[in-house]
Amino acid sequence: MSNVETKFRPVSQETKPGLDELVPSRYAMQVGDIEVMIISDGVLTPPAESMATNADPAVRGEWLDERFLSKDAFDWALNAVVVRSGSQTLLIDSGIGEEYPDFPRAGQFVQRLEAAGVDLGSVTDVVLTHMHFDHVGGLLAEGVKSRTRPDLRVHVCASETDFWKSPDFSQTAMPPALAALARKASLDFMSVYGDNIRTFKDLAEVAPGVSVTRTGGHTPGHSVVRVQSGNDRLMFGGDAIFPVSFDHPEWHNGFEHDPVEATRVRLRLMRELADTGSWLISTHMPFPSVGRVAAVGEKYRWVPTWWDY
Ligand SMILES: [Zn+2]
């Protein structure tokens, strides 16, 4: 046998993975009566310093070294979620889409959604944690809009849609080209899905046991989604909590539009998660990105779920 035949290839190296690909890019769990499925959209690779823009480079370097992580690019997982509650199928965020050649290891969200058996036409509601391109891009991919239901509801915070009409990047550490992409993706989204958008101010009940609440911080309209059924609870935290946040909640992420407020938000959410024992799904935690948050003195610890599929 030749090397080619015997070598395993990660899905990310396939140019067009078929729907029968065997590498799991989905993880299903139950929250009481509500079904939740996490779909991976692969991995982004931003510069490692963007994970901790206010950290001493030596301290940041040590943190990365201790975890055998590269000091150049940070492997930043990208996850979105499907929730089924009552007669509704909700999509929470949508991955990055295909417009971004700088991120070749992500961008096949819709294919992965379909490989997981979720028909786009069955989605009744989309809930956006915020409008950065790695959260709205999947729904902007070629041919996607025409396959969604005409009566699709897209729930997003009013402060978010307002913000992107005239966004402020002064406190981010995003390169100008990326900021321009972010602006374009949010405006494109509002133009393509304008008739479907249902804004909320601070809180909306979007399905039985499923609510979305504005937190602000990361972006002015950043929101988290809480799922509760019986005694089971889960929070989809969007971009409030990152892989570095447990050891260093005070580290600013270069994509945060108000990093000081973002730090306050993540501390508040981690306290809540530790107190309630709620599951957390976090967009950029490694797949399947499901775990709990334990309080250890003044710090927090990520306790990943034990794989069960
Ligand atoms: Zn993000």
Domain boundaries, the chain: 5-12+23-304
> Which of 116, 32, 55 lies closest to 287 in space, CA to CA?
116
Rounded to two decimals, the pTM is 0.92
* pLDDT tens-place string over residues 14-69: 455 555 555 668 999 999 999 999 999 988 888 889 999 999 999 999 999 999 99
CA of 94 to the centre of ligand 1 (A): 11
Give the angle subtended at the CA of 168 by the CAs of 104 and 261, to the nearest 5°: 90
Q: Which residues contact 155 (CB under 8 A, 6 or more apart)?
A: 125, 126, 127, 128, 198, 199, 200, 204, 206, 212
Q: Give the pLDDT score at 99.
A: 72
Q: Give the pLDDT score at 3.
A: 40
How many Cβ atoms are within 10 Å of 212's Cβ, its own excluded?
A: 25
CA of 122 to the centre of ligand 1 (A): 25
CATH architecture of 5-12+23-304: 4-Layer Sandwich (3.60)
Q: Tell me the pLDDT band of 1, cut-offs 50, 70 and 90.
A: very low
User: In this structure, what are the phi and psi dihedrals at residue 227, rounded to the nearest 5 degrees?
Assistant: -120, 130
SS3 content of the chain, % helix, strand, coil (to 5): 30, 30, 45
DSSP tally for the chain: helices H, then strands E? 7, 14
Q: Tell me the pLDDT band of 98, cut-offs 50, 70 and 90.
A: confident
Q: Mean pLDDT across the chain, nearest whole number?
A: 91
Q: Give the pLDDT score at 55.
A: 96
| Ramachandran bin of 96, using left for φ above 0, alpha for ψ from -120 to 50, beta for the remaining angles | alpha
Q: Give the pLDDT score at 275.
A: 96
Residue with tokens 């304008």: 194
Q: Give the pLDDT score at 79.
A: 96
* pLDDT tens-place string over residues 108-152: 899 899 989 999 999 999 999 999 999 999 999 999 999 999 999
**254 and 50 in contact (C-beta within 8 Å)?**
yes
**97 and 107 in contact (C-beta within 8 Å)?**
yes
> Strand, coil or helix: what is 207?
strand
* pLDDT tens-place string over residues 201-253: 999 999 999 999 999 999 999 999 999 999 999 999 999 999 999 999 999 99
Q: Give the pLDDT score at 106.
A: 84
**93 and 131 in contact (C-beta within 8 Å)?**
no
CA of 105 to the centre of ligand 1 (A): 15
Q: Give the pLDDT score at 309.
A: 57
Q: Which residues contact 288 (CB under 8 A, 6 or more apart)?
A: 27, 38, 40, 79, 305, 307
Rg (CA), the chain: 19
Percent of the chain with pLDDT over 70: 92
Hey, what are 140's tokens?
């902007």
Q: Tell me the pLDDT band of 104, cut-offs 50, 70 and 90.
A: confident
Q: Give the pLDDT score at 4.
A: 41
CA of 2 to the centre of ligand 1 (A): 40
CA of 7 to the centre of ligand 1 (A): 32
CA of 96 to the centre of ligand 1 (A): 9
CA of 282 to the centre of ligand 1 (A): 9
Hey, what are 199's tokens?
């804004």
**295 and 271 in contact (C-beta within 8 Å)?**
yes
CA of 289 to the centre of ligand 1 (A): 13
Q: Give the pLDDT score at 251.
A: 96
CA of 135 to the centre of ligand 1 (A): 6
Q: Tell me the pLDDT band of 8, cut-offs 50, 70 and 90.
A: low
